[in-house]
């Protein structure tokens, strides 16, 4: 029987698969860190290995290629965003406040996961086609989810399906643009960060006002 208490060093409990998972996470973290400086396309396998404390060939024990790493990073980077939207749906805020609440939640999530959002923004149109496609797919999921959410709103009940999706896309675009704006503004610039939050609040409000006056054709 294996002795799970025979630790190789202090502190970390180490079964074999735990260790593997841990270095996998280390690879993801290192790649995210390096990508935020130079972009994923300009990232080399050897750089990742060096950052992790690897020999280059050990990389292949975890990923077949850099492209696979990129896809894993997309997956990982969208997790906080998916959670944010899931929570928002689970706990439906009062109608009037939902706008400014959303803006502030977005702000908080972006700040707490800065490097992941940098990755998404940077690689959305970056050099690796497979990564681009994966990100586009994730964003499209948001559009369809939000479309079904919007269909429940009273004001939009008589809209055509096309129009509802158009509105959903407008919101998702706004979310993406805002996340990009937040990410390209240094987090110390508190004043400008707040300006972005009030901007997106007003922009959403402007759009919602538009809802009332919209007449489907």
Partner DNA sequence: TTCGTGAGTGAACATGTGTGCACCGTAACA
Partner DNA sequence: TGTTACGGTGCACACATGTTCACTCACGAA
What tokens does 115 get? 């490097």
Residue among 48, 126, 150, 182 that touches a second copy (CB under 8 A): 126
Based on the shown chain and the rule CB under 8 A, indicate whether residue 107 belongs to the binding site for a second copy: no
Neighbour count for residue 34 (Cβ, 10 Å) = 18
Token pair recorded at residue 100: 């400014």
- Using rule CB under 7 A, residue 11 touches DNA: no
Q: In sequence order, what are the residues at sequence separation of 6 or more whose Cβ sits closer than 8 angstroms to the Cβ of residue 2? A: 15
For the window 183-212, what string marks contact with a second copy as x by the rule CB under 8 A?
Answer: -x--------------x--xx-xxxxxxxx
**Which window, 41-49, 109-117, 169-177, 208-216, contacts DNA (CB under 7 A)?**
41-49
How far is the CA of 79 from the CAs of 3, 55, 72, 190, in angstroms?
35, 29, 11, 26
> What tokens were used for 14?
């180490």
17 binds DNA (CB under 7 A): yes
| Pattern 68-87, DNA, x by CB under 7 A | --------------------
Q: Degrees (nearest 5) of the Cα angle 215, 149, 177?
A: 85
Q: Residue 132 binds what, of DNA, a second copy, none (CB under 5 to 8 Å, by partner type)?
A: a second copy
């Amino acid at each position: 029987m294996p002795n799970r208490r025979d630790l190789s060093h202090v502190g970390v409990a180490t079964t074999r698969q735990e260790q593997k998972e841990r270095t996998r996470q280390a690879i993801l973290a290192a790649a995210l860190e390096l990508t935020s400086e130079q972009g994923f396309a300009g990232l080399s396998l050897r750089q990742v290995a060096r950052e992790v404390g690897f020999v280059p060939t050990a990389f292949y024990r975890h990923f077949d290629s850099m492209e696979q790493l990129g896809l894993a990073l997309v997956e990982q980077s969208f997790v906080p965003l998916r959670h944010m939207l899931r929570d928002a749906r689970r706990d439906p805020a009062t109608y009037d406040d939902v706008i400014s609440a959303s803006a502030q939640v977005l702000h908080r999530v972006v700040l707490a996961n800065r490097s992941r959002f940098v990755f998404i923004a940077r690689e959305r149109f970056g050099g690796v086609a497979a990564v681009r496609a994966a990100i586009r797919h994730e964003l499209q999921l948001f559009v369809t989810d939000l479309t079904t959410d919007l269909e429940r709103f009273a004001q939009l009940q008589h809209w055509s399906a096309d129009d509802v999706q158009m509105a959903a896309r407008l919101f998702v675009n706004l979310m993406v643009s805002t996340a990009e704006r937040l990410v390209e503004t240094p987090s110390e610039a508190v004043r400008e960060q707040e300006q972005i939050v009030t901007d997106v609040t007003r922009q959403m409000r402007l759009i919602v006002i538009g809802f009332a006056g919209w007449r489907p054709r």
